[in-house]
Amino acid sequence: MKYFVPLFAQDVGATADLSAEIAQGLFTTNNVWMMLSTALVFIMHLGFAGVETGFGQAKNTVNILFKNTITPILGILTYALVGFFLMYPGFETPGWFAFDLSGWKMFWFSPSDADVSIGYADGGYTYWTDFLFQGMFAATAATIVSGAIAERVKLSAYLIFTLFFVGIVYPLIGSWKWGGGALDAMGFYDFAGSTLVHSVGGWGALAGVILVGPRIGKYVNGKTVDKPGASVPLAVIGVFMLWLGWFGFNGGSVLSADPALVSFVLVTTSLGACAGGIGGFLAGNLVFKRLDLGMMLNGVLAGLVGITAGADVITPASAVIIGLVAGVLVVYSAVLLDKLKLDDVVGAVSVHLTCGVWGTLAVGIFSTNPEHTFLTQLTGVAICGAMAFSSAFVIFFVLKKTIGIRVSEAHEKSGLDSHEHGIRGYTIVYDE
């Protein structure tokens, strides 16, 4: 005797199978996009290296490249050791401090227990993709500090600072919003990190600049002395590499491959960058009476930083305004820092701190979501800024009083490459 499955039962079974296949396909697509975004954020470290080396002096090229190479190395390892678990502690109730190492053993010794199913992160990506994407953000925060204090900071002091800043300070502040902490409950909004990444790094850079002091000969008789960069083309390449990486930085922050939202975020990101470049170009021409390429480049980065907090909740027209204002702000911020004799080699404080704050506050002005208010944004900026600056200041201050944070005058004058690394960045050897 043959048994026949009723037609409706066949249809139900087929529909269930089709739904499962679709869900698996979406999960795979989402995860691939997140891994691609991770790679784009990773390549931003090459962009930072290009910008810092290009704007820095030739005699310190190897030193700058060494720091930009070891920063993501230490950043990712430190984030794996403690930062990831501190940043996403699973607040039972929104708060300020929570620490959960329950996943530590699974990460290091029982990886088969990690959740790589569709049920993790709403089907957006796997546990491992989650870690790596967030780890790239963490390393970026430390790289911001590197450029500001270049050419006179001790490598040992910088490395110790990086361990504490990336391992503890950055993830702790990040947990308050992205980890479901008190700022998140407050309604503070930062889509991809204008504050949580960029201004946190900028506050760290400002603390470093204050304590390490200006380069020798930078400020003489009340005048600012230019220190010619090693390679303008390299600086330009670095900026374009960063711009490219920002597609992953902001696009990946959608946390899925949602075609509508990802494409929209990439549009607002690009518009912000372009408007920032125009703002830097116009303000630079007004202030310095020349077509200042450096200010236009920093204007592009300023626009990118400014747009990062609200790239998904603003209109394209607002993106242009935010980027344009950021491009203008970065020029006047750089001028103000020089007046205060705060020597920032690459303009990191102006780009990441000044424009990170502006971009976060801009969410309270331009967001299409009425729940995003200016006062809440201002409160969040103030809290994150107080924590980031005070923590960085304490770390640098302790290092200054113990191992010292500045190289000797002789080493600074002759260049760090020969003394600390034994090679120069632009040596040409001819065969005899």
The beta strands (E) that lie in 123-278 are given as 219-220, 223-224
pLDDT on residue 1: 46
Q: Hey, what are 21's tokens?
A: 């296949």
User: Is CATH 1.10.3430.10 correct for 7-421?
Assistant: yes
Give the closest residue to 141 by CA, choosing from 98, 100, 173.
173
pLDDT digits (tens, 9 = 90+) for 358-373: 999 999 999 999 999 9
Give the closest residue to 56 by CA, choosing from 378, 345, 352, 277.
345
pLDDT digits (tens, 9 = 90+) for 272-324: 999 999 999 999 999 999 999 999 999 999 999 999 999 999 999 999 999 99
Statement: the pTM of the whole predicted model exceeds 0.85: yes
Cα dihedral 93/94/96/100 (nearest 10): 50
Burial zone of 152 (CB within 10 Å; 0-12 exposed, 13-18 middle, 19+ buried): buried
* pLDDT > 70: percent of the chain: 93
Angle between helices 170-177 and 374-402 (to 10 degrees): 170
At residue 419, does pLDDT exceed 70? yes
Q: Where are the domains of the chain?
A: 7-421
CA–CA dist 171, 175 (Å, integer): 6
At residue 430, does pLDDT exceed 50? no
CA atoms within 13 A on the CB side of 399: 26
pLDDT digits (tens, 9 = 90+) for 222-245: 888 888 888 999 999 999 999 999
Give the closest residue to 181 by CA, choosing from 383, 347, 373.
383
